[in-house]
């Protein structure tokens, strides 16, 4: 019975029909980028031994949407090649055959006439265009000398329409025959015209250039692709597809041809290079390592999936670039994923390549880190002119110069070059370096933080920048300010008739006379509040008005001057030159100190900001003090006294290096210390 059903001469009993809906599912939707579609068409021309390909499309436009009005331009994308073309029979056997492996079909993985390693394999590339348009028109003539007629080469002209193709998936699809079909031509070659686009964006010329260049890694003299802009009819605008120009740090370039990939017992050849780019590439086409098989891009990776935690990691992902040729990814075995966006990394060869890549990355990461730092530093030196600045400020103080440069080096270590484009940022770094440089211990701490992590230093630098230390500490400003103050102090001291007021004003405006380490760290506001609060509190408590500042109190001499220095409130009692402090004045000042204590205890919110308080007398003589007062002065660590000369001397001593530099810079012999010694 079974035998009866067997019909050896009729139509095949069983037929497997591949629905054309699979075409839709084959992944053409993935080709929504114009550049990716162009790449497939160009690859086909290459495989057909073309030496010239001309692509024409409107740059920088949005191809028409699904709903079109009559005024909408009827855009076309045309790819024309001078390859061997196809005969009508070949159109049927090759072009209209979906998903047939050309290397099996033709029995070779080399092109027919020029022996190029062909890029095509899967038999689906031509369908890519349906990712962006509905109509593909093919005009082709060729292909082998035997096909040539006396009139020339017979032209095949067919129009594929995706909607027609998918409307009836049961029967065979017969593309419409175009008007040129059956005519003859003197030249072989294939022209593909795309029409009826979806809403797709065509990039600008330069972007298109980069994207296309990134897709191919072919270096041959018999291959030239020119891409024309059809949006500007009048002037000819075009580019020639060439190598992607990537600006790399030459010293980090690794030629990979000397390091084959180990896969089991085999060593598989690779060629190309990997390096650090001079600037981080945000452009997708340029960033990362492009992997080519047979001249066509098959994958792109920024890190070969390396795990975190290696030297230089921080910058690697933004700086790593390369182009490597790995033909064995597309040899006997097809390791390119069918969506063509990546390779199968989990295959044996894929894994071997990943292991190889990670090893390479570790090595280049170490190299790159050093190079980037060096480069950013060089560029910073150039742009900031910091060398000239320190040379001018401190021609004879090598230690100072080195330590400012060292500070700058630490500050720029974590910057990338883009940060140096900001002029004011560069100026800030210079200023910050000038103020940090001389603070050796701070510098050491910074270096330590910098060594630990990039982020930590960032925070510290941001903090400094926010606190505007840099600006306030601009050396030029400090220099002239301090020199002027020192000069004025010397003059006041020399003029024995000077009254208290000018001294008070001077000390108040230049608290560093008392404490060379004093920094203007943004506490002035809280000091104003403390002053006001304390004066009000004092008036209520003792029924007396107090004046704690010489600034803005024209009517009255201040009772004392109140200063602050990082967590410290400082009562400064200033008496004019040659003055003899009285017991009464001494006790009154001490009472101010205790009143201040009480005030701050009663107002802990303010008090905790200034946990330390002290009292300093600047007065030349204390011979009129009673023994009790003297002993309190000697024993109370919070109370001290200086004479005017001591003050000037200690200021000069503390600022000696500094002032020397300034005077040297001015080239004038006006060192007040020199004059003083003679007195
Ligand atoms: N410009 C062309 N000139 C001559 N023949 C072409 C051209 N474009 C396509 N063909 C023929 O049509 C076939 C199908 O092309 P298609 O791009 O679909 O597949 P493929 O190139 O073989 O493989 P892949 O899917 O990997 O690109 C090609 O193998 C080739 O024989
Ligand atoms: Mg192809």
For residues 446-456, average pLDDT: 59
CB atoms inside a 10 Å sphere around CB 622: 18
Q: 176-190, 394-408, 521-535: which has the highest mean pLDDT?
A: 176-190
Question: What is the distance of C-alpha 641 from the center of its chain?
Answer: 55
- Whether the CB-CB separation of 456 and 497 falls below 8 Å is answered with no
- Which of 25-29, 462-466, 588-592 has the least mean pLDDT? 462-466
Distance CA 301, CA 321 (A): 9
Which residues line ligand 1 at a C-beta cut-off of 6 Å? 44-45, 47-48, 81, 83, 85-86, 94-95, 102, 120-126, 190
> How many CA atoms lie within 13 Å of 327's alpha carbon, on the beta-carbon side?
12
Please report the pLDDT score of residue 522 as a whole number: 42
pLDDT over 60 at 27, yes or no: no
Q: Which residue has the higher pLDDT, 439 or 497?
A: 497
Report residue 3's pLDDT band, with 50, 70 and 90 as the boundaries. very low
Ligand 1 centroid distance, CA of 111 (Å) = 11
Distance CA 106, CA 111 (A): 10
546-596 confidence digits (pLDDT tens): 877 766 555 566 777 777 766 778 888 888 888 999 999 999 999 999 999
The minimum-distance atom of ligand 1 relative to the CA of 90 is 31
Please report the pLDDT score of residue 11 as a whole number: 61
Distance CA 343, CA 341 (A): 7
For the sheet with 296-301, list strands across it. Answer: 254-255, 271-276, 320-325, 288-293, 296-301
Q: Which residue has the higher pLDDT, 506 or 451?
A: 506
Pocket test for ligand 1, best of 118, 126, 131, 191 (most atoms within 8 A of CB): 126
pLDDT over 70 at 192, yes or no: yes
Per the listing, tokens 């080239």 go with 667
Please report the pLDDT score of residue 380 as a whole number: 93
232-256 confidence digits (pLDDT tens): 777 789 999 987 788 888 888 899 9
Reduced to 3 states (helix: H, G, I; strand: E, B; else coil), residue 491 is: helix
Report residue 155's pLDDT band, with 50, 70 and 90 as the boundaries. very high
The closest of 396, 482, 403 to 435, measured between CA atoms, is 403
Ligand 2 centroid distance, CA of 118 (Å) = 9
* Residue with CA nearest ligand 1 atom 1: 45
Distance CA 597, CA 273 (A): 72
- Which of 14-28, 29-43, 84-98, 366-380 has the least mean pLDDT? 14-28
Residue 150 has φ and ψ, to the nearest 5°, of -60, -35
pLDDT over 90 at 371, yes or no: no
* Residue with CA nearest ligand 1 atom 21: 120
Ligand 2 centroid distance, CA of 105 (Å) = 14
Please report the pLDDT score of residue 452 as a whole number: 57
Report residue 447's pLDDT band, with 50, 70 and 90 as the boundaries. low
Please report the pLDDT score of residue 249 as a whole number: 83
For the sheet with 612-618, list strands across it. Answer: 561-565, 568-574, 612-618, 639-642
Give the alpha-carbon dihedral of 274, 279, 280, 286, to 10 degrees. -60
47-92 confidence digits (pLDDT tens): 999 999 999 999 999 887 555 566 666 899 999 999 999 999 999 9
CB-based contacts of 458: which residues, under 8 Å, 6+ apart?
414
Residues with a beta carbon under 5 angstroms from ion ligand 2: 44, 120, 125
Per the listing, tokens 């692509």 go with 55
Pocket test for ligand 1, best of 87, 95, 340 (most atoms within 8 A of CB): 95
- Parallel/antiparallel/unpaired status of strands 261-263 and 153-161: unpaired
- Which of 292-296, 588-592, 602-606 has the least mean pLDDT? 602-606
CB-based contacts of 111: which residues, under 8 Å, 6+ apart?
46, 47, 48, 49, 117, 118
For residues 654-665, average pLDDT: 60
Annotate 582-646 with DSSP letters as a single string.
-HHHHHHHHHHHHHHHHHHHH-HHHHTT--EEEEEEE-SB-TTS-HHHHHHHHH-TTEEEE-HHH
Query: Burial code of 253-271, b = ≥16 C-beta within 10 A, e = fewer?
Result: ebebeebebebeeeebebb
Residue 330 has φ and ψ, to the nearest 5°, of -135, 45
476-521 confidence digits (pLDDT tens): 455 556 677 778 888 888 877 778 788 888 877 777 777 655 554 4
* DSSP summary character for residue 308: S
Please report the pLDDT score of residue 185 as a whole number: 95
């Amino acid at each position: 019975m079974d035998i009866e059903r067997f019909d050896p001469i009729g139509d095949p009993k069983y037929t497997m029909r591949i629905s054309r809906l699979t075409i839709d599912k084959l992944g053409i939707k993935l080709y929504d980028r114009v550049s990716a579609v162009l790449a497939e068409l160009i690859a086909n021309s290459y495989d057909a031994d073309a030496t010239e390909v001309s692509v024409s499309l409107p740059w920088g436009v949005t191809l028409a949407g699904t709903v079109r009005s009559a005024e909408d331009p009827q855009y076309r994308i045309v790819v024309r090649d001078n390859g061997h073309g196809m005969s009508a029979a070949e159109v049927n056997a090759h072009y209209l055959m979906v998903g047939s492996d050309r290397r099996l079909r033709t029995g070779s993985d080399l092109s027919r006439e020029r022996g190029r390693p062909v890029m095509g394999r899967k038999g689906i590339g031509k369908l890519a265009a349906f990712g962006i348009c509905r109509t593909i028109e093919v005009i082709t003539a060729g292909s082998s000398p035997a096909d040539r007629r006396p009139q020339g080469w017979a032209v095949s002209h067919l129009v594929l329409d995706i909607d027609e193709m998918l409307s009836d998936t049961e029967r065979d699809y017969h593309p419409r025959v175009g008007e040129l079909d059956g005519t003859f031509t003197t030249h072989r070659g294939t022209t593909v015209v795309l029409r009826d686009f979806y809403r797709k964006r065509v990039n600008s010329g330069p972007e298109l250039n980069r994207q296309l260049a990134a897709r191919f890694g072919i270096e041959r003299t018999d291959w030239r692709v020119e891409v024309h802009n059809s949006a500007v009819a009048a002037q000819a605008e075009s580019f020639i597809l060439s190598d992607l120009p990537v600006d790399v740090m030459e010293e980090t370039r690794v030629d990979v041809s000397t390091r084959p990939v180990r896969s089991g017992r085999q060593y598989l050849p690779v060629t190309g290079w990997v390096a650090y780019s001079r600037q981080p590439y945000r452009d997708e086409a340029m960033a990362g390592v492009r992997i080519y098989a047979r001249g066509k891009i098959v994958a792109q990776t920024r890190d070969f999936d390396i795990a975190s935690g290696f030297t230089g990691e921080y910058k690697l992902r933004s700086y790593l670039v390369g182009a490597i040729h790995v033909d064995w990814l597309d040899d006997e075995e097809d390791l390119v994923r069918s969506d063509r966006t990546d390779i199968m990394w989990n295959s044996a060869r894929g894994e071997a390549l990943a292991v190889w890549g990670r090893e390479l990355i570790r090595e280049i990461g170490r190299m790159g880190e050093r190079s980037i730092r060096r480069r950013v530093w060089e560029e910073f030196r150039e742009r900031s002119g910091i060398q000239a600045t320190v040379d001018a400020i401190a021609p004879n103080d090598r230690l100072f110069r080195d330590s400012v440069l060292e500070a700058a080096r630490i500050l720029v270590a974590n910057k990338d070059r883009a940060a140096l484009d900001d002029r004011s940022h560069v100026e800030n770094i210079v200023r910050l370096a000038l103020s940090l440089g001389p603070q050796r211990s701070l510098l050491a701490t910074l270096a330590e933080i910098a060594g630990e992590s990039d982020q930590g230093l960032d925070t510290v630098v941001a903090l400094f920048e926010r606190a505007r230390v840099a600006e306030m500490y601009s050396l030029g400003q400090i220099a002239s300010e301090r020199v002027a103050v020192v000069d004025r102090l010397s003059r006041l001291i020399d003029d024995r008739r000077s009254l208290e007021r000018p001294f008070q004003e001077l000390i108040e405006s230049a608290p560093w006379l008392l404490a060379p380490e004093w920094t203007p760290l943004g506490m002035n506001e809280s000091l104003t509040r403390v002053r006001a609060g304390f004066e009000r509190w004092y008036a209520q408590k003792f029924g007396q008005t107090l004046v704690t500042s010489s600034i803005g109190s024209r009517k009255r001499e201040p009772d004392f001057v109140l200063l602050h220095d990082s967590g410290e409130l400082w009562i400064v009692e200033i008496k004019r030159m040659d003055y003899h402090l009285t017991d009464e004045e001494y006790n009154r000042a001490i009472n101010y100190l205790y009143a201040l204590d009480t005030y701050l205890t009663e107002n802990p919110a303010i008090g905790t900001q200034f946990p330390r308080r002290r009292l300093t007398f600047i007065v030349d003589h204390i011979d009129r003090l009673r023994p009790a007062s003297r002993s309190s002065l000697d024993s109370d660590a919070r109370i001290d006294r200086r004479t005017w000369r001591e003050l000037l001397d200690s200021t000069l001593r503390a600022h000696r290096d500094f002032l020397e530099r300034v005077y040297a810079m001015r080239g004038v012999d006006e060192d007040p210390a020199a004059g003083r010694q003679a007195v």
